Amino acid sequence: MAQPSPAAKTERLLNLVICLLYTRQPLSKARIRDAVPQYGETASDEAFDRMFERDKDELRELGIPLRIEPIDSFFDDETGYRIDRREYALPEIAFEPDELAVLGLASRTWQQASLAGPAATALRKLEAAEVERDTESLVGLEPRVRTSEPAFNPVKDAALRRQAVSFTYRKAGGEATTRQLQPWTVTNWHGRWYVTGFDLDRQAPRVFRLSRIDGAVKRLGKPGAYDVPADHDPLTMIDGTDSRETMTATVLVRNGAGNTLRRRARQHTDEDGEFTRLTVDFGDTEVLADEIAGFGPAARAVEPPELVEAVLRRLRGSIERNGAA
Amino acid sequence: MAAPESATARLARLLTMVPWLVNRQGIDIARAAAELGVSTDQVEADLALLFVCGTPGHLPDDLIEADWDGGRVFLRNADTIARPLRLGLDEATALIVGLRALAAVPGLDERDAVDRALAKLVDAAGDASEVSDRVKVALAAAVPSDTLSTARAAVAAHRRLHLSYVVASRDETTERDVDPMRVVSLDGNWYLEGWCHRAQDVRLFRLDRVASIETLDVDGTPPTGARPRDLDTDLFTAGPDDLRATLQLQPEAAWVVDYYPVESVERAADGTLTASIRAADLTWLRQLVWRLGGAARVLEPAELRDEVAAGAAAALASYDA
C-alpha cells in the first residue's frame, strides 16, 4: 500500500482528534471508521486496524488523553474511544499582562537551548486567549541558558521520567568509565549542566558534569522505577559546600592590587602606606588561597594559619615546577 | 534547513495554532506567521488543510471555516479544538524552570509577577509541575540587588552609568562611563552590556565585579553603530593581539582546559596535559599559574616561566621577613 503523504496523515489525525473530542459517547472502531473519511478509504479491515492502532499510539505520544471505555454500561464487552474535553484542554487561566511578560522572559531563557521549541509552544498555548503582553517593562533583561551538551536531552528526559541510564563518563584526567545512574535532577550551576543521582555501581549519590559524558546515553529499565529523595538538594551536592562555616581572614594587599579581594573586604586599614590590611569573610580555605596566591608578591595571607599554609604550598609548588629546570 | 516537519509534529502545531488564531480573528497573515514562528506560505498551507477538516459528517456545515482573503485570517466553526491541549512535560518544565530561575534573581522588580505567574502555571500544569522540579537553573546570585536594579533602570531610562569596575585579569579597578544596552545572564554570571566611553567600544561588564555604580543625569543612548554582541557564538572571542602560552598541567589541574579557551590539548599517557592557551595579557596567565601551585609548568614563553618563579620567590620571601 502506498504511504499517504504527511499532509494526508495530518488531516486524518486531525479529523480523528476532532471526532473523538466531539463525541460524548465512546465510539466503536467501526463508527470511527465511518466518521473519519480517510479511514473509510482504507482497502481492508486489517489495513484500517493497523492504521488506527498506530494513530492511537501517536496521539498518546503527543499527550492527547485518549480514553478506552465500555460503550454500553451494561455490557462491557465492546469498548469504544473518546477524548474527554476537560482532560484534553488546558484549564482556563487568566494571566495579567505583567504575568505574561515574565512568562515571555522565562520562555526566552531557553531561546538558544534545546527546550526553545517547547518553551515557545507553551507560551502560545497560554497566550491563546487574547491578552496584550506588557513587553515594555522587561526591556533590557535577558536571562539565558545554553544546552550545548549532547547529553542534555536524554539525561533531562530520564530525570523527568525517573528512568535509569548508563553512559560513558570521562574524568578530568581523561580516564573513561561506564556508569549506571538513577538520575534525580539536572541542574545548571555557574553556567554548567550537572546531573545528580544514585550511582548504581558505587551504590552512593554522585554528581556528573554533562559535558564529560561521551557518546550515547542508554536507558535502563522502566520509567518511574525509583524515587527521588524528598530532601535532595542538588546545589549542595554540586557545590560541596554543605553547611560550611564562614571564617575570617586577614590579608595584606599592595596598593592598587588585590582588587577582587578589596571589593569583598569587610574592613580596610592602611598599613605603612604601601599595603592595605583587609578583613575578608570566606567559606573555603583552598578557594581563598587560590585567589591570594594568584596575586603573587602583591598579596600576603596573615591569618588564619591554615590559610597561610595553603598559600605557601602554592608558592613553593610554583617555584618547584617553574624554577630553572 | 531542518528536517521536514513530521505529520504528528504538524498536528501538534495546528492544535496550538487554532486556539491562538480563533482568539485573534482578522489578524494580518504575515504578523500571525511571524508570531507563530513559521512562514506565510506555511500558514496558508495550514489553513488550507484545516479547511477540509471537521466534525463527523463532513458536510459543509461540519467543516472548519478558514478564510485568509485579503491577507486577514478568520477561523470559525472550530469549537472542538478551540482550547489548547494541556502543556506537555517539556513545555511545562521549560516555563516553570525559567520562572523559578527568575524568582531567585536578587532585587528583581517583577518578583511579585513571577510569583503570581508561577502559582497559576503550577496549578494549570498539574502533575507536570512537580516533575519539573527535577530540572533546575541557578542563575547567578552573587550580585548585589541594587547593582542589578540600577543597571536595569538605566537601560530602561536610557541614562548613562558611571562604574568603578574591577578588571580581574589585570588586577585593576577602573573608572568608566557606560551607555547601557542590556542586562544579560549568561553561563552563571550577570553582565551589563553597553557602550564604554573609555574603550570606545561595546563591552560586557560582570556585575559582581562592579565596585560602585551611579546613574548620571546624562542621556545614555549608545552611538548608532553600537551593536550588542552575539552571545551565542562566543562570549570571549580571541583578539588579534592575544598572547599564547603553553602550559603543562598535572591531572589535578585538568579542569583548566574545560574552563578557559584553549587552542589545543595533548594528553600524555601519564595523564598530564599540554595545553596551548590564549590570553589578552600576561597578568592573567601569571595569576593562573600561581594559583595552580605545583600543578602547572609554563613551557612557553620562557619569560613567563621565569616571572612566575621569581614572583613566587618574592612572595615567599615576604613571609619570612
Q: What is the pLDDT of residues B148-201, one digit of tens each?
A: 889 988 998 899 999 999 888 788 889 999 999 998 888 778 889 999 999 898
Given an 8 Å threshold on Cβ–Cβ distance, is B287 in contact with A10?
A: no
Given an 8 Å threshold on Cβ–Cβ distance, is A121 in contact with B288?
A: no
> Which DSSP symbol is given to B104?
T
pLDDT band of residue B131 (cuts 50, 70, 90) is confident
Give the pLDDT confidence score for residue A195 in this predicted structure: 95
Percent of residues, chain B, with pLDDT higher than 90: 46
Average pLDDT on B122-134 reads 84
* A6-88: CATH, from 1.10.10, 2.40.50, 3.30.70, 1.10.3470: 1.10.10
Q: Which residues of chain A have pLDDT under 50?
A: 1, 242-243, 325
Domain B243-320 has CATH 3.10.180: no
Give the pLDDT confidence score for residue A280 in this predicted structure: 93
Grid cell at residue A242: 554543605
Q: For chain B, what is the mean pLDDT?
A: 87
Grid cell at residue A280: 575578608
B145-219: CATH topology: SH3 type barrels. (2.30.30)
Given an 8 Å threshold on Cβ–Cβ distance, is B293 in contact with A211?
A: no
For chain B, say whether A37 makes contact (Cβ under 8 Å): yes
Q: Does residue B137 contact residue B93 with C-beta atoms inside 8 Å?
A: no
- Chain A residues closer than 8 Å to B175 by CB: none
Q: Where do you find CATH 3.30.70 in chain A?
A: 247-322
Give the pLDDT confidence score for residue B146 in this predicted structure: 85
Nearest chain B alpha carbon to A37: B58
Give the pLDDT confidence score for residue B7 in this predicted structure: 93
User: How far apart are the C-alpha atoms of A67 and A27, rounded to whole Å?
Assistant: 10
Q: Where do you find CATH 1.10.10 in chain A?
A: 6-88
Q: Classify residue A241 as exposed, middle or buried by CB count within 10 Å of its CB (0-12, 13-18, 19+).
A: exposed
Q: Distance (Å) from the C-alpha of residue A201 to the closest C-alpha of chain B?
A: 22
Give the pLDDT confidence score for residue A298 in this predicted structure: 93
Give the pLDDT confidence score for residue A325 in this predicted structure: 47
Class of the CATH domain delimited by A152-239: mainly beta
Grid cell at residue A170: 570521562
Q: Across the A/B interface, how many CB contacts are shorter than 8 Å?
A: 369
Q: Where do you find CATH 2.30.30 in chain A?
A: 152-239
For residue B317, pLDDT beyond 50: yes
| pTM of structure | 0.79
* Residues A247-322, CATH architecture: 2-Layer Sandwich (3.30)
For chain A, say whether B181 makes contact (Cβ under 8 Å): yes
pLDDT in tens, B31-85: 999 989 899 999 999 999 998 888 888 777 888 999 998 899 999 999 999 999 9
User: How far apart are the C-alpha atoms of A190 and A107, rounded to whole Å?
Assistant: 20
Report the run of H or E that residue B57 belongs to, with start and end. none
In order of A123, B25, B42, B43, the CA distances from B38 in angstroms are: 15, 18, 6, 7
* ipTM confidence: 0.79
Give the pLDDT confidence score for residue B238 in this predicted structure: 54
Class of the CATH domain delimited by B7-81: mainly alpha
Which of A 172-211 lie inside 8 A of B, CB atoms? 172-175, 183-192, 211
Q: When comparing pLDDT for A236 and B240, which is higher?
A: A236
Give the pLDDT confidence score for residue B127 in this predicted structure: 79
Give the pLDDT confidence score for residue A101 in this predicted structure: 86
For chain B, say whether A268 makes contact (Cβ under 8 Å): no
Q: Distance (Å) from the C-alpha of residue A13 to the closest C-alpha of chain B?
A: 7
